[in-house]
Every structure is written in C-alpha cells, then in structure tokens.
Amino acid sequence: MIKLNQQLGILLAITILIGCVCPTDLDTEQIIDPKETALALFLHAMPGLDGMNVKSNSIEVESGLSYFPTNHQYRKVGSGIRNIKFLTANGNAIIFNAIFNFKKDMDYTMVAYGFGSRIRSLIMKDSINDYNPANPYVRFVHVSSDAPDLKLHFKRQLTNEITLSYKKYTSLIEFPSGTYGLDIFTKSDSLVYSLNDINISEGNLYTVVIRGYFKPEGDGKPLDCLVAGVRK
C-alpha cells in the first residue's frame, strides 16, 4: 500500500508539473511570433475609465485604448495560453487579469466592461460558417450593467428585431451592405437610444456594443453604442 501511494504521488507530481503554467513564465518578456499567433480586437466599454492599455503576457499589444476610439484594428496576441491584463492608461494599475487560450490563426473580439473593482471581459470568436465576402456581418453586445433586457431595431428597408439581456451577445449576422439605423427600446417599448447612419460594407465584421449607464448619475456616461468595424 505504501509503495502504491508513493507511485500515485509521483504520477500526481508529474501531472502537476506538465499541466502547470507558472506566472513567472507568463510574465517573462517574450516575442510574439507572427507565424504562431491569434488576433484580437479590444473594445473599451467601461464608463468609469477614459483609457486603458492591454498586455498579452508581458507585451503591450494595445496602448491608450479610448472609450471614444477613432479606429479599430486587430492586434497580435500570440497563441496558446496567454495572460491578458487591462491596465489604466498610465500603466500604474492592473484592473483586469485573466488567462485565455488563443487558437493559432483564430480571430477574437474582447469587450472590457464593468466598473470599479468589477471589471470583466467578454471574449467572442470572430468565426463564420459559410462566410460570404460579398456582405458585411454584424454582432450585437449588451454590457450596460444597470439596463434591463433591451429590444433592438436594426433597420434599413426592413426592421430586424433583436432582444438582449445584460452580458449577452448575438452571433455574427449577415446583412446586405448599406446605411442602417438602430433604435433601442425597453421591453415595454420605451425608446432609450437611437443611432442613425451606421454604414456597413462588404468584407467587414462589425460589433455593436451597448454600454454606459441606463440611469447615469453625476459624471457617469449615459447609455450609447460603440460600433467597431474590422476587415475580415
């Protein structure tokens, strides 16, 4: 019995050593191999923070990400197990710290949301079955923490109705190219936000993030939409 216990202990130790990803390894300065990488689009939806930086392991992959960005692009984050950190814009405080497993050659969108010490991230794969490059694709995300379930009308010639709860999101939905409007209602049909002239074009993926405060107080940012488009 003692011998058997010793053998089990050795096997357990080997398993732990093989399966362990040590924090010191993740914090060691590394070069992201462009041939062995995944891409991630980082979106800022934290109404209490003006800007932030992003690190993958110890490498800064996004700097000065604004709440009101002027452009969006994928960043190389490496593949495999990566330690993703969100930091304040001056880099002095880590506000989010988690481990993700990124698949090589896969594209992702990460939405940073929440407030104070309750910062979270939604991570979504930007993969499409039967992808049609002749049309754009749009995903809708609800991260307004104090908002109820919301009803979205995404409209052009026809109205597409979508209902979303907090922290939920749709798949990437194919639409014809063109200019759309978005109306956001409560489930009791009270209009809370409208956005016109949303231009979507073929070959692009768009993420529409509903963020901010449904009932803002003081300097709190009110509910609005971030529309982020990237080339597929």
DSSP classification of residue 169: B
DSSP classification of residue 104: T
CB under 8 Å to 117, separation ≥6 — which residues? Answer: none
Instruction: State the pLDDT at residue 10.
Output: 43
Phi, psi of 84 (to 5 degrees): -95, 125
Residue 175, SS3 per DSSP? coil
Structure tokens at 22: 């040590």
Neighbours of 74 (CB within 10 A): 17
- What is the CATH architecture of 128-232? Sandwich (2.60)
CB under 8 Å to 181, separation ≥6 — which residues? Answer: 154, 155, 156, 194, 195, 196, 197, 198
- What is the CATH architecture of 22-126? Sandwich (2.60)
Q: Do the first three CATH levels of 22-126 and 128-232 match, i.e. the same topology?
A: yes
Interstrand relation of 51-56 and 59-66 (parallel, antiparallel or unpaired): antiparallel
Instruction: State the pLDDT at residue 220.
Output: 80
Instruction: State the pLDDT at residue 202.
Output: 96
Structure tokens at 104: 């090589």
Instruction: State the pLDDT at residue 118.
Output: 84
Q: Are 127 and 102 in contact (CB under 8 A)?
A: no
Q: Tens-digit pLDDT profile for the chain (232 aa)? A: 444 444 444 444 434 333 444 444 445 445 556 567 999 999 999 998 889 999 999 999 999 999 999 899 999 999 999 999 999 988 789 999 999 999 999 999 999 999 877 899 999 999 999 999 999 999 999 999 999 999 999 999 999 999 999 999 999 999 999 999 999 999 999 999 999 999 999 999 999 999 999 998 877 899 999 999 999 8
* R_g of the chain, CA atoms, integer Å: 21
- Tell me how far apart the alpha carbons of residues 68 and 205 are, in angstroms, rounded to a whole number: 19
* Residue type (1 letter), 128: I
- Tell me how far apart the alpha carbons of residues 38 and 44 are, in angstroms, rounded to a whole number: 20
- Of 231, 228, 212, the closest CA to residue 70 belongs to 228
Q: Are 122 and 139 in contact (CB under 8 A)?
A: no
Domain chopping of the chain, boundaries: 22-126, 128-232
- The pTM for the full model equals 0.84
Q: Are 50 and 69 in contact (CB under 8 A)?
A: no
- Of 36, 40, 81, the closest CA to residue 57 belongs to 81
Instruction: State the pLDDT at residue 35.
Output: 67
- Please report the beta strands in 16-79, taking only residues with DSSP state E, as ranges in sequence order: 38-45, 51-56, 59-66, 75-78
